[in-house]
Amino acid sequence: MLLVLSAEHRAHLGCLPRAGDAAVGELGHLALEQLRRGAAPRACEATARKLNIDIDTVQHGVEGLTYLLIESSKLMISENDFQDSIHALGFSDELNKSLLQLYLDNRKEIRSILGELSPRLPSYHSLEWRLDVQLASRSLRQQIKPAVTMKLHLNQNEDQTAQVLQTDPATLLHLIQQLEQALGEMKTNHCRRIVRNMK
């Protein structure tokens, strides 16, 4: 699976050859620190002075590297796919090797950081449901008005919560069809590849 870079990210990574092959290690270190602790403008200024390049080149290089490392780590792309992805940028072999080494050395830590940043979503525990049918009212003597009431029990951070939902059968059938369609799409080769890379 190749990583597709937008024109903006290509432009940001295009700053790397101007910074020099030796700067990749410095900019890679800044990119990792940005992932761990957030943006650090003072560190960028210090690196710009140290490497004798302008601050914009450092910031763009760090942004480009951060994106490259995050997306590659998210997809857990292989060594060959990473090389093919950055080969399209037209960098020197030395720079490509430096980027590959940076990715291989840090992808597990980046995935760990991304895992900590992802929101903890509630998970399913159980479902209670009831079907109510209104057969008549004061104004209408003969009517059939069905409603499905569901109580969805969820686990979130070791606490249980409940959500009460009510809908008509037609909407519920439509929702079931959409969910079945989504489950069917999960069986395609493309989705299986994505899920495999997310693990």
pLDDT single digits (tens) 20-48:
666 777 888 888 888 888 777 788 888 88
pLDDT (tens digit per residue) in 114-141: 887 767 788 889 999 999 988 877 777 7
- The confidence band for 162, taking pLDDT boundaries of 50, 70 and 90, is very high
The answer to whether 7 and 83 have CB atoms below 8 angstroms apart is no
Give the pLDDT score at 127.
92
Percent of the residues in the chain that have a pLDDT greater than 90, as a whole number: 17
Mean pLDDT of 168-176: 92
- Give the mean pLDDT of 131-157: 85
Model confidence at 197, pLDDT cuts 50, 70, 90, reads low
Mean pLDDT computed over every residue of the chain: 82
Judge contact between 154 and 160, C-beta under 8 A.
Answer: yes
Is pTM beyond 0.75? Reply is: no
* pLDDT (0 to 100) of residue 150: 93
42 to 3, 19, 23, 33, 39: CA distances (angstroms) = 31, 18, 17, 12, 9
Q: How many CA atoms lie within 13 A of 29 on its CB side?
A: 8
Burial bucket for residue 113 (CB in 10 Å: 0-12, 13-18, 19+):
middle
pLDDT at position 1: 60
d(CA 12, CA 158): 43
